[in-house]
């Protein structure tokens, strides 16, 4: 016998695009999405010639695939299959000024163009050195750039988000963080306009990713281990043993819309990143230790896997910062590998899905 109860209507979450079942009661109501936990208002209208309420189907939300962003004139017009947003915040003139972030962006842009075939006109760069006000890394500009990155994304797209600057932790009041803290990026005007929490980063560039879309976030900041709020964090020991940890609380889904999101960050959530003086480019210059180790690992080993990339990055940073850096040969290598030092930052790998880190090729 069929169901004779009041009809239920399937609509769409206005925030993440997931399907939601609207209850039959009342002229209108707010429905909480099971995926993102945010409320969408569902309207009902009376049918002509009928006393019963008819549910008015809602059109699908304006997600990243369909939304038309109003972009500044200086933004790249190209919508190629490979595109990137590169952000370097120096905080010039402050007590917390950073010297190497613009160099980080310059070197990352060269790597993407020369090594991975990213078109130059599909890369959006935000630094304080820009003459274009829309490309200065303020909070508003940074969020707009992130939306530009994922807008209209489709199967086969490869997206890169690189941020070099300050990162902080803030107490979690929503109960969705395993360690009790949110991670956050600091735009240029964070003291006036506020930081960008990992929840907002996840909502902006992770959840819109549809099937076949791939995002890599390369984050060179302090406290950046789980900065995208991705489900899985890879624990990698000095001896090469690895396992994935689930870092999303039950009922707190922050996944993609079918795509793949991967973050490679400068350190664990409770660690700080550093800058270093690096030789070997056009001159000696300050550069983020994480960005330096990432570029060196990619260039020294073409066709590397995620596991080998992460191990090489950590070894590079230990060589420059950690215990044993003055010990040569096999003894120094053993000490650098086996001795744990909380003072030495360790790049982290997170992902929206699990995979074999020593079999999956790293490719942007």
List residues with catalytic annotation. Answer: 166, 222
DSSP bridge partners of 173: none
Helix and strand tally (H, E) in the chain? Answer: 7, 18
DSSP 8-state symbol, 109: H
Distance of alpha carbon 29 from alpha carbon 1, whole angstroms: 30
Q: Interior CA angle at 169 toward 163 and 174, to 5°?
A: 110
Distance of alpha carbon 258 from alpha carbon 256, whole angstroms: 5
Chain centroid, CA 297 distance in Å: 20
CB 314 within 8 A of CB 196: no
**CA neighbours closer than 13 Å in the CB half-sphere of residue 165:** 27
Distance of alpha carbon 184 from alpha carbon 219, whole angstroms: 11
The residue among 161, 189, 268 whose CA lies nearest residue 225 is: 268
DSSP 8-state symbol, 360: S
Per DSSP, the residues of 198-232 read HHHHIIIIITT--TT-EEEEEEESSS-TTTT--SE
Residue pointed to by tokens 């983020």: 288
């Amino acid at each position: 016998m069929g169901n004779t109860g009041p009809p239920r209507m399937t609509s769409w979450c206005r925030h993440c695009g997931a399907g939601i079942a609207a209850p039959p009661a009342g002229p209108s109501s707010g429905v909480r999405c099971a995926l993102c936990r945010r409320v969408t208002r569902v309207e009902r209208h009376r049918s002509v010639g009928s006393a019963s309420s008819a549910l008015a189907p809602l059109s699908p939300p304006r997600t990243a695939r369909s939304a038309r962003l109003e972009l500044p004139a200086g933004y790249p017009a190209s919508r190629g299959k490979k595109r990137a947003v590169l952000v370097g915040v120096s905080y010039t003139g402050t007590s917390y000024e950073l010297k190497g972030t613009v160099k980080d962006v310059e070197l990352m842009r060269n790597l993407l163009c020369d090594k991975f075939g990213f078109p130059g006109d599909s890369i959006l760069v935000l630094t304080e050195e820009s003459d274009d006000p829309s490309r200065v890394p303020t909070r508003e500009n940074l969020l707009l750039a992130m939306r530009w990155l994922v807008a209209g994304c489709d199967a086969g797209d490869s997206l890169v988000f690189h941020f070099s600057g300050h990162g902080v932790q803030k107490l979690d009041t929503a109960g969705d963080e395993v360690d009790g803290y949110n991670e956050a990026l600091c735009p240029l005007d964070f003291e006036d306009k506020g930081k960008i929490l990992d929840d907002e980063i996840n909502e902006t560039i992770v959840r819109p990713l549809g099937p076949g879309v791939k995002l890599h976030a390369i984050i060179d900041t302090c406290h950046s281990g789980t900065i995208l709020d991705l489900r899985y964090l890879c624990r990698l020991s000095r001896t090469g043993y690895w396992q994935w940890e689930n870092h999303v609380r039950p009922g707190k889904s922050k996944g993609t819309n079918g795509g793949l999101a991967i973050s490679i960050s400068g350190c664990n959530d409770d660690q700080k990143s550093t800058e270093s003086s690096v030789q070997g480019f056009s001159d000696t210059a300050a550069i983020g230790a994480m960005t330096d180790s990432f570029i060196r690992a990619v260039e020294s080993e073409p066709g590397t896997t995620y596991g080998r990339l992460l191990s090489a990055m950590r070894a590079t940073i230990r060589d420059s910062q950690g215990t044993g850096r003055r010990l040569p040969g096999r003894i120094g290598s053993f000490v650098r590998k086996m001795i744990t030092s909380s003072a030495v930052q360790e790049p982290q790998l997170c992902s929206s899905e699990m995979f074999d880190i020593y079999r999956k090729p790293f490719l942007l």
